[in-house]
Structure 1
Amino acid sequence: MQTIPIDEAQARLPELFREAAGGSDVVITGDDGAAVRLVPVNVHGQPRFGSARGLFTMADDFDAPLEDFEPYER
């Protein structure tokens, strides 16, 4: 695990980014004692329109009026 003060991390951010993306633990500490860890995030690509087709169905009466709202309808 690599612990780096925030001032140094600002100057070395691209390098630290590559290290964290490669699996190394990178911890950045602030002057007040707070600390954060850089971790890689899995990106699965862009969502595509229609990609959920067939995964769910809607009831036939989905847009039918609800009985509870009859007093409010005119």
Structure 2
Amino acid sequence: MIIVPLAEAKNNLSKLVDDAAAGQIITIAKHGRPLARLVPVERPRGQRIGAMKGKLILTDDFDTPLPDDLLDAFEGHPA
């Protein structure tokens, strides 16, 4: 952990942000008292593309045209 005086942090903010992005935790102090902390942002841990691979099944007729009455309902035509 790095402790940096506020005045120095103002003058070197860009470098401090780069250091934080690289994994450093930086504490900004005023008159020797810690006030704020710059920390690296966690990377998102969302679902990966392809996470459902092999778990979904499409039948051979999945692209068969819909019956006229169902197609009309989707298109907003009265029955």
| Structure whose alpha-carbon radius of gyration is higher | 2
Mapped partners of 2:34, 2:22: distance in 1: 24
1:35, distance to aligned residue in structure 2 (A): 2.2
2:75 paired with 1:38 = no
Match of 2:24 in 1: 24
Structure 1 spans left out of the alignment, 5+ residues: 45-74
What TM-score results when the alignment is normalised by the length of structure 1? 0.50
Decide whether the 8 Å contact of 2:5 with 2:30 is kept in 1. yes
Q: Secondary structure at the match of 1:7?
A: helix
Decide whether the 8 Å contact of 2:3 with 2:28 is kept in 1. yes
Q: Percent identity?
A: 34
Runs of 4+ that moved beyond 6 A: none
1:36, distance to aligned residue in structure 2 (A): 1.4
What TM-score results when the alignment is normalised by the length of structure 2? 0.48
Alignment of 1:1-74 (within 5 A): 1-31=1-31, 33-42=33-42, 44=44
Structure 2 spans left out of the alignment, 5+ residues: 45-79
Mapped partners of 2:25, 2:32: distance in 1: 21
Alignment root-mean-square deviation, CA: 1.8
**1:11–1:28 Cα change, 3 Å:** same
Mapped partners of 2:25, 2:40: distance in 1: 10
Mapped partners of 1:32, 1:24: distance in 2: 20
